[in-house]
Each structure stands twice: as C-alpha cells, then as structure tokens.
Amino acid sequence: MARPRRASPVPPPGGGTRGPAAPVPRSRWLGLLLAGVVGSAAAQYRGPLFDAHLHYNVEACGHAAAATTTTECPHPLPDVLDRLQRNGVRAIVANSRPNDGTRALAQAGEQARAAGVAVVPFVRLYRDRADYNNWFRDPSILDMVNTELARGTPAGPYRGLGEFHLYDSGNADGPVARQLMALADRKDLAILAHVDDVAVEKLMGHTPSKGQSTRLIWAHTGIGGSSVARVDALFARFPRLHGELSYRPGLTCGEGTLCPEWRALLLKYPDRFLIGSDTWVNQRWLQYDGLMQGYRAWLGTLPPEVAKKIAWDNGAALFGLTEPSPR
C-alpha cells in the first residue's frame, strides 16, 4: 500500500532531482547555454554530499537478519553502502521504519567506515504504517522514543527524532506531538518533519524556546508547495529551521537548472538548506544515482562556496561532523 502522503509511489517526472527531464528543444538549449545555466558535466558540484533524509525501511531490508531471499532483501547493507560510496555521500541522517534499519546502518561500523559514510541516527516514530496517522496522540510512541533514546545505537546516541508526518496541521497540537517537541529541545535533538508551514509554526510553539533554539529540518521544505515568501518568513523567524529539498515543488525548472526564485532563496539563506534522497520506497534506492547526480547538477550552477554549504557543510554543522578526507 502506498504511503498516504502521495497518490502514487512513482515519483513525479520533470524535476532535476527526480530523474531525466523531457527533451529540451534545440533553440532552447542554445538559450540556456548562452545564459550559462545548464548544469554540464564540467560544472557539476564534485565535493562531499550529506544525505539529510534517508530511510532504510523494512521493504529495502533494514531487518537484514530476518531476510533470506532477494525478494525479502532487495537492498542488503553492502548494496546500500555501495550506492552511498559511489555517489560521494559521506554522511546520512538515518531513520527507518521500524528503527531496526537505522540500527543496521549504525551497526555497520567497519563497513560504513570503509565506505567513508558517517551515520547520524534518528529515532523514527513508526513501528509500522498504522503509526503514520496516530503517532501525535499515541502515548505508546512516546514510550518507544524514550526506550530507543535510552538504548542508543552502536554509532552513538540518537541525534534526532523523525521523520514524522502531519497531513493535517491541526494534529501538531496533539499531546504526543507537544511532548516530543519539548523533549527535543530539552535533549538537544534535531527534528525531521514532513509537515506544512502552519504545522512548522505550531510545532515550534510547543518548545520551551518557542523555536528559537530548535533544530527543525523541514522535510521537502513544504511538499505542498508553500510559497517562497512563506518559506523566507519562517526562516527569518526561526533561526535554526533548515529546509531539506527532496520533492520540493518548483525548485528546478528543467534538468540541472534552479528556478529563479528558489535560486534567490538558496543564495539568501546559504546556511539553511540540505539535500536528501528520501528513500521512502525501494524505487528511490534504484534511482539513488540519478537523484544525487541531479543534485550535483544544480549545485554546480551555484557559487562554489554556497554549493558546498548546501551539499555538505550545513548538515555537518548541525551534527558536529568534521570534513571527510578526500577519497
């Protein structure tokens, strides 16, 4: 069954971060080339990537020990690490349904080090799909989160909570949502939230700092298409709000090209954006190379220091990671 946030498990075509775009007429190519906005191979960003939105869910094989067939385990750990390594992904925010997948990545130790990948583990709020629509009022989720936090991971303590979803922003006021936001501030945990702009305000309002010290990574930066002006206003109001850019409508205008208003926003807040794969279905693992190439293409059209921030530095700064050694 498809996750309720999207009607189809097939990611929409056309965006630079979502696979090949439709062919561009020759005359238009010439215009784009003259304007210097085509992300050519030469202009691609070539530095390290921080994937700030990665799931290693049960369908992919996040429960490796139980899997015995390739149907049960289409993406075993070596496959996942190979995809990260060959794309220059040097750190990931790992969060999985259930948390076993994150644990498998955190446990990879030597294998992950060999692949040059740092794992930043988050507690996911979902044991199964039923939890998507009830977590914000289900006290057993709070218990599960506290148990996971106490347990930690082989890669160290959990660094955040999420990804969680709110399809109705009113549910940001649910009792468990309130408690988790307060917990995040208290324990200095980051949040990864797939919500709309109204819910961002509500969630921030439930923290002791009223969102002034809350590290909230806004998954997709408003998948419903919050306007650039609205994103700008929220960024101005909440200094540690970050925008993760997978699936963001209106971000790219053709392959390797940022739409003008998004380009301007990225340049206005170079310290606040992140890239992510959102491997929410196995198809996204199959597309992983293309997704990262798509990011590298439009990152390459930005000033190099801004590209590096969005690709790596901002995620590294959020979690205190050091610069990876070149490979």
Minimum CB separation from Zn ion for residue 139, in Å? Answer: 24
d(CA 28, CA 56): 40
Among 278, 281, 284, 318, binds Zn ion (CB under 5 A): 278
The verdict on 131 binding Zn ion (CB under 5 A) reads no
- Tell the smallest beta-carbon distance from residue 11 to Zn ion (Å): 12
User: How far is it, in rounded angstroms, from Cα 32 to Cα 91?
Assistant: 33
Name the strand (E) or helix (H) holding 79: helix 77-86
CA dihedral of 95, 97, 101, 102, whole degrees rounded to 10: 20
Contact at 8 Å (CB) between 256 and 297? yes
Choice between 104 and 302, CB closer to Zn ion: 104
Minimum CB separation of residue 300 from Zn ion in Å reads 25
Q: Which residue is nearest to Zn ion (CB)?
A: 278
Contact residues for 68 (Cβ-Cβ < 8 A; gap 6+): none
Closest by CA to 243, choosing from 262, 260, 258, is: 262
| Strand ranges (E), the chain | 49-54, 89-94, 118-123, 160-165, 190-194, 216-218, 241-244, 273-274
Asked if 163 touches Zn ion (CB under 5 A), the answer is yes
Find the binder of Zn ion among 50, 158, 280, 312 (CB under 5 A): 280
Interface region with Zn ion, contact rule CB under 5 A, candidates 33-41, 163-171, 206-214, 298-306: 163-171
The window from 101-109, 131-139, 175-183, 271-279 that contacts Zn ion (CB under 5 A) reads 271-279
Q: CA-CA distance, 79 to 147, in Å (whole number)?
A: 30
Closer CB to Zn ion, 278 or 313, in the complex: 278
Query: CA–CA separation, 200 vs 216, rounded Å?
Result: 9
Q: Give the span between the Cα atoms of 30 and 214, in whole angstroms.
A: 46
Q: How far is the CB of 53 from Zn ion (least distance, A)?
A: 6
Q: Does residue 59 belong to the site contacting Zn ion (CB under 5 A)?
A: no
Shortest spacing between CB 278 and Zn ion, in angstroms: 4
CB nearer to Zn ion: give 6 or 230.
6
Check residue 51 for interaction with Zn ion (CB under 5 A). no
CB of 291 to Zn ion, least distance (A): 13
Question: Judged by CB under 5 A, how many residues of this single chain contact Zn ion?
Answer: 3
Q: What residues line the site for Zn ion (CB under 5 A)?
A: 163, 278, 280
